[in-house]
């Protein structure tokens, strides 16, 4: 019969890089020029919820993002759909009397509805949560028998940073050596319980969409920056080793030093791009950085790390609850929320701080 619909819903949090990915060596497969490390956020705060459905009544693949239909014709969506479909298996739902064979999947179409509970494309890595969730939910729907590492390599073809959202805690995206990208996968470093003292605060300085997409930004940086090669070959490999050690030991001073330095260097290579890319152009961001730097220096030991992605939102990682509470007081004191700012919108790790 043409009546049945089979659905799967999944939820995937976004992740924030502390050692940044910036620059591709292969644009179609999305292969990076350096390893990167991120922390996956608590799904309660910033996540994508995706429902995928299959029915013989659907005559084409379709997708809705935040309630609006979007085109699936782009290469990134097509790569993910193709890779998952190629691994589909038999699915049986006895209660509903549904039986789909491996072969059937070639002719069946899916409908996808996806929601972000945070601003899309404002540098909050919405594509990371989005593609990770799309790949994961499709894999469940189609009974794909692959581990998260393999699924991460598929999500990577949707958006590079998405591969890191398949795991919780701290995650490394290994750039890999293979030309076909088979070893360019995410690996979990430590789970979310390992360093649970950390409190992550995201200050939404501006929720407008970013002006330069990460894809064109990276391409322009790789083509024109004199610093990017030095960063990818000399700086990041050392930082990756040091960062892994800092995470293992919960060494906040080293963690802060590396996180802030890497964010600043990422924005330095953006500025070194021709024409230059300014992701940190909001006046407020400079103020937040100096405020944090001053505070860390005056305390003797760092209290807060900052990192900024390709959009004007500050990610602040406090060493514990006490510093998070102090940070919120300071931020609100110096930068009271107004029509242009929506500070301390998301506090991850300890909700009671917001009350
Ligand atoms: O995955 P993309 O194409 O959205 O690129 C993300 C790049 C940064 O967020 C700036 C850094 C990173 O490693 O997540």
Domain with 154 in it: 6-190
Collapsing DSSP states into helix, strand and coil, what is residue 97? coil
Share of the chain above pLDDT 70, in %: 89
Q: Give the CA distances from residue 205 to residues 221, 265, 312, in Å, rounded to whole numbers and listed in that order.
A: 25, 20, 6
d(CA 160, CA 156): 4
Task: Look at residue 22 and tell me if it is in a domain.
Answer: yes
Cβ(127) – ligand 1 distance below 6 Å: yes
Cβ(159) – ligand 1 distance below 6 Å: yes
36-43 mean pLDDT: 93
Cβ(18) – ligand 1 distance below 6 Å: no
Cβ(312) – ligand 1 distance below 6 Å: no
Task: Look at residue 125 and tell me if it is in a domain.
Answer: yes
Q: Which residues of 195-223 are buried (b: 16+ CB within 10 A; e: fewer)?
A: beebbbbbbbbbbeebebebeebbebbbe
Task: Return the minimum-mean-pLDDT range out of 25-29, 41-45, 133-137.
Answer: 41-45
Cα of first residue to Cα of last residue in the chain, in angstroms, is 53
Q: Tell me, yes or no, whether 171 and 216 share the same domain.
A: no
314-322 mean pLDDT: 93
Task: Return the minimum-mean-pLDDT range out of 68-72, 152-156, 282-286.
Answer: 282-286
Model confidence over 219-270: pLDDT tens digits?
999 999 999 999 999 999 999 999 999 999 999 999 999 999 999 999 999 9
pLDDT confidence of residue 355:
41
* Residues in CB range of 32: below 8 A, 6 or more apart: 21, 23, 24, 25, 160, 173, 175, 184
Q: Give the CA distances from residue 10 to residues 52, 115, 193, 222, 248, in Å, rounded to whole numbers and listed in that order.
A: 9, 11, 22, 35, 30
ipTM score here? 0.99
d(CA 10, CA 84): 16
| Count of CB atoms situated within 10 Å of the CB of 49 | 17
311-336 mean pLDDT: 84
12-37 mean pLDDT: 97
pLDDT confidence of residue 341:
52
Cβ(350) – ligand 1 distance below 6 Å: no
Per-residue pLDDT at 103 exceeds 60: yes
Cβ(137) – ligand 1 distance below 6 Å: no
Cβ(114) – ligand 1 distance below 6 Å: no
| pTM listed for this prediction | 0.93
Model confidence over 161-203: pLDDT tens digits?
999 999 999 999 999 999 999 999 999 999 999 999 999 988 8
Query: End of a domain among 139, 169, 190?
Result: 190
Q: Tell me, yes or no, whether 138 and 267 share the same domain.
A: no
- Separation of CA 218 from chain center: 16
Q: Among 117, 84, 121, 45, which residue's Cα sits nearest to residue 347? A: 45
Q: Tell me, yes or no, whether 28 and 174 share the same domain.
A: yes
Q: Tell me, yes or no, whether 239 and 347 share the same domain.
A: yes
Asked if 106 and 85 touch (Cβ cutoff 8 Å), the reply is: yes
pLDDT confidence of residue 208:
62
Residue 310 alpha carbon, nearest atom of ligand 1: 10
Task: Return the minimum-mean-pLDDT range out of 19-28, 63-72, 208-217, 304-313.
Answer: 208-217
Helix, strand, coil shares of the chain, percent, nearest 5, are 40, 25, 40
pLDDT confidence of residue 120:
59
Q: Tell me, yes or no, whether 63 and 156 share the same domain.
A: yes
Task: Return the minimum-mean-pLDDT range out of 7-11, 31-35, 181-185, 209-213.
Answer: 209-213
Sheet with 342-348, edge to edge strand ranges: 304-308, 313-318, 199-204, 342-348
How far away, in angstroms, is 235 Cα from ligand 1 center?
Answer: 18
The CATH number linked to 305 is: 3.30.70.890
Cβ(35) – ligand 1 distance below 6 Å: no
Model confidence over 110-119: pLDDT tens digits?
999 999 887 6
Where residue 280 falls among pLDDT bands split at 50, 70, 90? confident
Angle of CA points 167, 259, 355, to nearest 5° = 70
Please provide the average confidence, as pLDDT, over all residues in the chain.
90
pLDDT confidence of residue 199:
93
Q: Which of 13, 15, 22, 24 to mutate to test the pocket of ligand 1 (most atoms within 8 A of CB)?
A: 22
Q: Tell me, yes or no, whether 311 and 338 share the same domain.
A: yes
Q: Tell me, yes or no, whether 50 and 106 share the same domain.
A: yes
Q: Among 250, 244, 248, 259, which residue's Cα sits nearest to residue 316? A: 259
20-37 mean pLDDT: 98
Per-residue pLDDT at 127 exceeds 90: no
pLDDT confidence of residue 336:
65
Count of domains forming the chain: 2
| Count of CB atoms situated within 10 Å of the CB of 11 | 16
Per-residue pLDDT at 303 exceeds 60: yes
pLDDT confidence of residue 344:
43
The CATH number linked to 95 is: 3.30.230.10
Query: End of a domain among 155, 172, 190?
Result: 190
Residue 251: DSSP 8-state: -
Where residue 351 falls among pLDDT bands split at 50, 70, 90? very low
Q: Tell me, yes or no, whether 183 and 268 share the same domain.
A: no
Cβ(83) – ligand 1 distance below 6 Å: no
45-50 mean pLDDT: 89
Task: Look at residue 1 and tell me if it is in a domain.
Answer: no
pLDDT confidence of residue 337:
61
Task: Look at residue 33 and tell me if it is in a domain.
Answer: yes
How far away, in angstroms, is 220 Cα from ligand 1 center?
Answer: 15
């Amino acid at each position: 019969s043409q009546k049945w619909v089979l659905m799967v819903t999944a939820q995937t949090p976004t992740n924030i890089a502390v050692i940044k990915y910036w620059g591709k060596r292969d644009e179609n497969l999305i292969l990076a020029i350096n390893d990167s490390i991120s922390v996956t956020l608590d799904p309660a705060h910033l996540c994508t919820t995706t429902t995928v459905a299959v029915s013989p009544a659907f005559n084409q693949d379709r997708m809705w993002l935040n309630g609006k239909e979007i085109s699936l014709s782009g290469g990134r969506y097509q790569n993910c759909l193709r890779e998952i479909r190629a691994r589909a298996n038999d699915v049986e739902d006895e209660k509903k009397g549904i039986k789909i064979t491996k072969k059937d999947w070639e002719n069946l179409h899916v409908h996808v509805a996806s929601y972000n509970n945070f601003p899309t494309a404002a540098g909050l890595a919405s594509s990371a949560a989005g593609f990770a969730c799309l790949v994961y939910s499709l894999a469940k729907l189609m009974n794909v028998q692959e581990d998260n590492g393999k699924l991460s390599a598929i999500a990577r073809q949707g958006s590079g940073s998405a591969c890191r959202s398949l795991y919780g805690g701290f995650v490394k995206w290994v750039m890999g050596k293979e030309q076909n990208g088979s070893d360019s996968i995410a690996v979990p470093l430590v789970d979310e319980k390992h360093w649970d003292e950390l409190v992550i605060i995201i200050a939404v300085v501006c929720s407008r969409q970013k002006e330069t997409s990460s894809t064109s930004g990276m391409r322009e940086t790789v083509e024109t920056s004199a610093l990017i090669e030095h960063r990818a070959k000399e700086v990041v490999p050392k930082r990756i080793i040091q960062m892994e050690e800092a995470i293992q030991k919960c060494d906040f001073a080293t963690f802060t030093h590396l996180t802030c330095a890497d964010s600043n260097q990422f924005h330095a290579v953006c500025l070194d791009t021709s024409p230059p890319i300014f992701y940190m152009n909001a006046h407020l961001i400079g103020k937040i950085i100096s405020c944090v730097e001053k505070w860390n220096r005056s305390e003797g030991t760092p209290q807060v790390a900052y990192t900024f992605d390709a959009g004007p939102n500050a990610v602040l990682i406090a060493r514990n609850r006490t510093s998070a509470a102090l940070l919120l007081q300071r931020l609100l004191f110096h930068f009271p929320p107004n029509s242009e700012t929506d500070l301390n919108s998301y506090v991850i790790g300890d909700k009671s701080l917001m009350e």
